[in-house]
Amino acid sequence: MDNTGIYVIDVSRSSYAIVEPLPIDRVIVDDSFWRPRLEKLVKITLPLQFLKIQETGRLENFRMASGRVKGEFKGLWFNDSDVYKWIEASAYALAYRWSEELYKMVDTAIDEIISAQQPDGYINTYITVNGLKRWVDLAWSHELYCAGHLIQAAIAVRRSLKKNDLYVASLKFADLISDTFGWEEGKLKTSDGHPEIEMALVELYRECNRGKYLDLAEFFIDIRGRGYVTKTLTLRQFFLPSPEYLVDRKPIRELDDIAGGHAVRALYYMAGVADVYIEKGDSKLWSALESLWRKVTSRKIYITYGFGSRYEGEAFGEDYELPNERAYSETCASVAGAMWAWRMFLASGDPKYVEVLESILYNSALAGISLDGTRYFYVNPLADYYGKHQRMPWFECACCPPNIARLLAYLPSMIYSFSKIDKGIMVNLFIGSRAIFEVNGNRIAITMDTMYPWYGKVFIRMEPERVDEIPVMIRIPSWVEEHEILVNGKEFRGEPGRYIKLVKSWDRGDKIVIEFKMRPRFIQSHPYVEANYGRVAIKRGPIVYCIEGIDNREFDVRDLIIDPSTANLNEVFREDVLNGVVLVEGEGYVNEDMYHGDKLYYELDVESVPKAKKVKFIAIPYYAWNNRGATQMAVWIRSRINVLGRIGD
Amino acid sequence: MDNTGIYVIDVSRSSYAIVEPLPIDRVIVDDSFWRPRLEKLVKITLPLQFLKIQETGRLENFRMASGRVKGEFKGLWFNDSDVYKWIEASAYALAYRWSEELYKMVDTAIDEIISAQQPDGYINTYITVNGLKRWVDLAWSHELYCAGHLIQAAIAVRRSLKKNDLYVASLKFADLISDTFGWEEGKLKTSDGHPEIEMALVELYRECNRGKYLDLAEFFIDIRGRGYVTKTLTLRQFFLPSPEYLVDRKPIRELDDIAGGHAVRALYYMAGVADVYIEKGDSKLWSALESLWRKVTSRKIYITYGFGSRYEGEAFGEDYELPNERAYSETCASVAGAMWAWRMFLASGDPKYVEVLESILYNSALAGISLDGTRYFYVNPLADYYGKHQRMPWFECACCPPNIARLLAYLPSMIYSFSKIDKGIMVNLFIGSRAIFEVNGNRIAITMDTMYPWYGKVFIRMEPERVDEIPVMIRIPSWVEEHEILVNGKEFRGEPGRYIKLVKSWDRGDKIVIEFKMRPRFIQSHPYVEANYGRVAIKRGPIVYCIEGIDNREFDVRDLIIDPSTANLNEVFREDVLNGVVLVEGEGYVNEDMYHGDKLYYELDVESVPKAKKVKFIAIPYYAWNNRGATQMAVWIRSRINVLGRIGD
């Protein structure tokens, strides 16, 4: 691919990247699902976040660090990172949707940050304003975490806004970090309690091609899991992060489980490891990543593709530990999971990673932000039986709002990519859009039209400058049972869970018409998941559904029992509901007399058969819940399924 | 009742006590279940705990506070309380089982504590050794919490060991607290983040009859729930205790829920409220207590009678939030629950409180200590799918070991009591024992023989000094289906869940023979309990059972499916297993082909009926688990029950 442009992840020179993403400015999203979301991102979400950043003293902290004003540090010690993440999101969003207002806000923030840089390059307002010693409490201080976000923001601003000032500042800071940390005699041999610097340093290396940043990233990957991080903990608090929490239990190449690991930390770390792999190609790193991927996605992920099942430590649980009402599934963990998935895909070209990325996007991540783009979930439970869970305009620990903004901002860069192996154009996500590929000196415009995720019909129109034979690879999701692929009317057949490779001499106006048949499906979970035994969930295409109280006033959502064989599921697109969604309707039952006097525990009476009445229910996409006020919600519904079956011979 | 002796709770002059416990030295426990446990308590558990107290610097902290040695404070800031709780447990245990060795240990500890008292009466080694300001961080400092335990220890030593020195010291400290806190102008208007002082001050009032201590206890009850406690929080840590956690959300008379409340804090508080009610009789306190009792026991208690479902904040959850693998159910919370239940019973005479007390004793509390009396659970899960959960000889935060020791030490005082209303002897717990009542100048010796909790047969022999008509009230547990009560061969019939009142002129040798028929029963839980839907547990008498991997090597405990109608439950007493238990054996099924390739989520196939094979299983009492090494365990077993039933007319 000869495309130049604004890369979010620039693997164009990376030896072990199988896939190259398309530059973000080469894609225009233009559909009814995502376009309004990206418009809101630039017009509403990011400007509102800037106001919150100002109101809460986050910029003021930089002014204090630079000496422009006097005062006391405000808020949490890692609040700098929110400003950086917001800048990064804004910079990439501005690449494809200009807003003078937003640009000025970014400029203001950058000015404050640069002024707060210390003569030797160090930037951290908490340490500077409070006159604290640097790097002494790294397990908890987030100094390198904040530095990582600063570097990512600086790269985004340089790439997208063509402004170099923050980038120059971040290089100076990176040099200071490089002089301070490393295996060499006299340098600090530890890392930050919160991974993040790793991804940032690899991307910085990609931007400036200085190998020392890549080596430093590798050092931060390798130092972890040997207890160095945990050792820097100072006994300041009752809650003492464990090696598990800090992802410091075992070195990456031996890491077999991440139970107890803070989900965002663990996922950022693994995304960083993937980045190092993409540059250095150490196959042991790759097998560690693959085996952790398997562990996470087959044992520790929610059906909504949320990560982290414990409030305590915001952590991954044991295998199959996936409570619904108390799911943590932090929005940041979904963003981190998407980053990891995307890097795994770049490293391998395997569509399974895109499928997870897509599932995160349409479910747990999108749930993190309200339909109007102004409020956020920090925690994303799969059930809310008391209607207590509400999105908030901001948080004291406000990691999630700018993080979900980052993920949305990245979106256009993930729809298409280029396979270095097949030398082909890859269609990863089905999002109405126009894209420009430059391959072998040829310019190929692609237009995709679709009502996905509501309908599986996708129209792709090819417009090459000149006729050229180039593979076009289209991902077929693994849930697809029936599909149809027509190229100029000629039928092709692919395999679910794989890319279908369409090789032909493409001419202007060539049409690819795809249909993935969608129907609402009942999903069961592995019986080891304590909370889901005897329950079913509903999924349609990539979208997980839930039952909200507001649509189902006849019963408590906990009382609904679905008999899958008599549920008569029906789907209906409603443009007027929740900005346009496919609703799933069905029939279930509610018991009328089984609670034995409302007792918590009671003796089972095998003779007693509870009386049940039929009810109709309506399910909505999970991501859209809590957009119509406080109400009950549940993803996993009690069901009448045959859990035992026939007795063996 | 004219009994004098060593009271644990002395309500002999309390106007609103309906029930008086028998002094602890008037009861000799003599059965095969409890006697060995009380022997181990004095011979093994308490001496070993003293060694741990010494080894971990807990006594050293007192030596530093008194200036006897120099050094740095060791351990957690509330470690003094462990020493006090250990003294209290030892003092009461010494009342009925003498040990010179243990007495000397108590003496040593008392000497260190008294020397550490400051001239104005203040005792807290963390504050004193570190030269910190007193009472400034009360939400977190545990100063009054430690003071409360000191006072309880001092009362125990005075009552049981007839030593006054610690008592004199504690009075001086109580006076300082009384001069420092209160509604009056110039006094501090707040309380400790951890309730405990309330129970202690009421008992101190009962001991010395000085009303000011009772008033102070009432002040600490009333100040809570108005935000005063939360306000003293200093922003020192990431984990900021909430008003819910601190039981500071609403004043007691308006407190409608304790979701999010630290279980031990909430339960200690309610026990203290009950103590104040017993003295002052405010009916609004009583209705608040009753309604919270209902809330807790019908919505927030485990089948094992453990309290607290969240690791985060060691807290009560929402209604029906009762996960099994991640149950918290802290041993201290069971102890606290027993204390609350016992006080509710003293205030009302209602057997439902004794039933909860008994259930706590035989299940969640007893699980807190190993059969050999040397190791402890802090957390008591209802499932351990990976055999990761092990009892420990001690903890950094060692609240549980001396607390379970206290509860065991109290045991003889709770078997019998005296009803002030019926002027009758109450038999609350079925534990082989001899007791002496003095009523109306008559001395009545009672001997109880039983194999309870394994068999429901109870033999009671009356030996009054002179023939006298006095009611003897025997509690019939609510789970009893069939019972037989014979008084000298004559049949009486009571009502399950009530006391049966036997009124007769008792003569020497009169015999009461009771039989409560026991059988293993399948218990179901309210379908709103997410983790238990479609599952059953086994209970027999007061004992909850569990399946341990070590007895069931043929299958993973998560794979066992019980069809209650074909389970063929069978019981067998095994003297050689786990110090003698009734095992429950039965038949269940294991599916052979249902995991759909081990997938976490998969589409439900209503046509596919999994193949199952029959297996035999063995269940043991829950309290006895993890006494034969690390192994899987589960209380709630997957079942094949008809959750839907017939469709309504």
Per DSSP, A41 falls in state: I
Residue B614 CB contacts under 8 Å (≥ 6 apart), including other chains = A647, A648, B587, B588, B589
Q: For the segment B182-213, what is each residue's pLDDT rounded down to a tens digit?
A: 999 999 999 999 999 999 999 999 999 999 99
Averaged pLDDT of chain A? 95
- The tokens describing B24, both together, are 């602890």
- 3-state SS assignment for residue A87: helix
Q: For the segment A73-119, what is each residue's pLDDT rounded down to a tens digit?
A: 999 999 999 999 999 999 999 999 999 999 999 999 999 999 999 99
Per-residue burial over A3-21, b = 16 or more CB atoms within 10 Å of its CB, e = otherwise: bebbbbbbbbebebbbbbb
Q: Is the pLDDT of residue A554 over 80?
A: yes
Question: CB of B523 within 8 Å of any CB in chain A?
Answer: yes
Question: CB of A525 within 8 Å of any CB in chain B?
Answer: yes
Domains in chain A with CATH codes: 31-414 (1.50.10.10), 417-516 (2.60.40), 520-639 (no CATH)
Q: Choose, out of B604, B605, B613, the residue to mutate when testing the contact with A (most A CBs < 10 Å).
A: B604
Contact B236 A239 (CB under 8 A): no
- 3-state SS assignment for residue B90: helix
Per-residue burial over A381-391, b = 16 or more CB atoms within 10 Å of its CB, e = otherwise: bbbbbeeebeb
- 3-state SS assignment for residue B62: helix
β-pairing, B560-562 vs B633-634, is: unpaired
Contact B310, B327 (CB under 8 A): no
Contact B594 A326 (CB under 8 A): no
Q: Write down the pLDDT at residue A183.
A: 97
- The tokens describing B404, both together, are 């379970």
- The tokens describing A24, both together, are 């973000």
Chain A: closest CA distance from residue B25 (Å): 37
Select from B600, B603, B604 the Cβ nearest to the Cβ of A526: B600
Q: What are phi and psi of B451, to 5 degrees?
A: -105, 10
Contact B622, B546 (CB under 8 A): yes
Contact B562, B544 (CB under 8 A): no
Res. B2 pLDDT band, cuts 50 70 90 = confident
Beta carbon pairs, A and B, within 8 Å: 218
Question: CB of B643 within 8 Å of any CB in chain A?
Answer: yes
Residues, chain A: 649
Q: Write down the pLDDT at residue A237.
A: 54
Residues of chain B positioned with their CB less than 8 A from the CB of A234: none
Contact residues, A window 39-78, toward B, CB-based 8 Å cutoff: 76
Q: What are phi and psi of B129, to 5 degrees?
A: -65, -40
Q: Is the pLDDT of residue A235 over 70?
A: no
Neighbours of B23 (CB within 10 A): 24
Q: How far apart (Å, rounded) are the C-alpha atoms in residues A174 and A192?
A: 14
Question: pTM of the predicted model, to two decimals?
Answer: 0.95
Select from A320, A536, A603 the Cβ nearest to the Cβ of B604: A536
Per DSSP, A44 falls in state: I
Select from B317, B523, B595 the Cβ nearest to the Cβ of A601: B523
- The tokens describing B442, both together, are 């008559």
Give A633's Cβ-side CA count (13 Å radius). Answer: 29
Res. B598 pLDDT band, cuts 50 70 90 = confident
The residue-averaged pLDDT of B261-281 equals: 98
Contact A606 B561 (CB under 8 A): no
Contact residues, A window 238-277, toward B, CB-based 8 Å cutoff: 238-239
The residue-averaged pLDDT of A608-636 equals: 93
What does the angle CA B322 – CA B328 – CA B331 come to, to the nearest 5 degrees? 125
* Bridge partners (DSSP) listed for residue A186: none
Q: How far apart (Å, rounded) are the C-alpha atoms in residues A216 and A171?
A: 13
Q: How far apart (Å, rounded) are the C-alpha atoms in residues B562 and B566?
A: 8
Contact residues, B window 267-326, toward A, CB-based 8 Å cutoff: 297-299, 301, 303, 310-312, 317-321, 323-326
Contact residues, A window 556-585, toward B, CB-based 8 Å cutoff: 558-559, 561, 563-565
Question: CB of A15 within 8 Å of any CB in chain B?
Answer: no
Q: Choose, out of A76, A388, A604, A608, the residue to mutate when testing the contact with B (most B CBs < 10 Å).
A: A604
- 3-state SS assignment for residue A356: helix
To the nearest 10°, the Cα dihedral for A9, A11, A16, A20?
90
Longest CA–CA span in chain B (Å) reads 82
Q: Is the pLDDT of residue A602 over 80?
A: yes
Q: How far apart (Å, rounded) are the C-alpha atoms in residues A371 and B78?
A: 48
Q: How far apart (Å, rounded) are the C-alpha atoms in residues A267 and A198?
A: 12
Q: Write down the pLDDT at residue B604.
A: 84
State in Å, rounded, how far the first CA of chain B is from the last one.
Answer: 60
Q: Is the pLDDT of residue A263 over 70?
A: yes
Q: Write down the pLDDT at residue A648.
A: 40
A610, A614, B450 from A555: Cα distances, Å: 16, 11, 49
Q: Is the pLDDT of residue A591 over 50?
A: yes
The residue-averaged pLDDT of A308-329 equals: 96
Contact B525 A610 (CB under 8 A): no
Per DSSP, B319 falls in state: T
Check whether the bond before A610 is cis (ω within 30° of 0).
no
Q: For the segment A355-404, what is each residue's pLDDT rounded down to a tens digit?
A: 999 999 999 999 999 999 999 999 999 999 999 999 999 999 999 999 99
Q: Write down the pLDDT at residue B647.
A: 46
Strand runs labelled E in B381-517: 383-384, 416-419, 424-427, 433-439, 442-450, 457-464, 468-475, 483-487, 490-492, 499-506, 510-516
Q: For the segment B532-565, what is each residue's pLDDT rounded down to a tens digit?
A: 998 999 999 999 999 999 999 999 999 999 988 8
Per DSSP, A133 falls in state: P
Distance of CA A374 to the CA centre of its chain: 18
What residue in B sits closest to A387 (Cα-Cα)? B318
* Bridge partners (DSSP) listed for residue A473: A426, A501
Residue B401 CB contacts under 8 Å (≥ 6 apart), including other chains = B45, B49, B52, B82, B369, B376, B394, B395
Residues of chain A positioned with their CB less than 8 A from the CB of B388: 318
Contact A558 B527 (CB under 8 A): yes
Whole-number CA gyration radius for chain A: 25
Contact B202, B279 (CB under 8 A): yes
Q: Write down the pLDDT at residue B487.
A: 98
Residues of chain B positioned with their CB less than 8 A from the CB of A612: 644-648
Chain A: closest CA distance from residue B559 (Å): 8
Q: Write down the pLDDT at residue A647.
A: 46
State in Å, rounded, how far the first CA of chain A is from the last one.
Answer: 60
Contact A478, A430 (CB under 8 A): no
β-pairing, B543-548 vs B633-634, is: antiparallel
Q: For the segment A143-163, what is each residue's pLDDT rounded down to a tens digit?
A: 999 999 999 999 999 999 999
Residue A393 CB contacts under 8 Å (≥ 6 apart), including other chains = A48, A52, A374, A375, A376
Q: Write down the pLDDT at residue B239.
A: 59
Contact B299 A600 (CB under 8 A): yes
Q: How far apart (Å, rounded) are the C-alpha atoms in residues A238 and A261?
A: 18
Q: Write down the pLDDT at residue B144.
A: 98
The residue-averaged pLDDT of B495-515 equals: 97
Residue B506 CB contacts under 8 Å (≥ 6 apart), including other chains = B444, B462, B464, B467, B468, B469, B470, B472
- 3-state SS assignment for residue A283: helix
Res. A59 pLDDT band, cuts 50 70 90 = very high
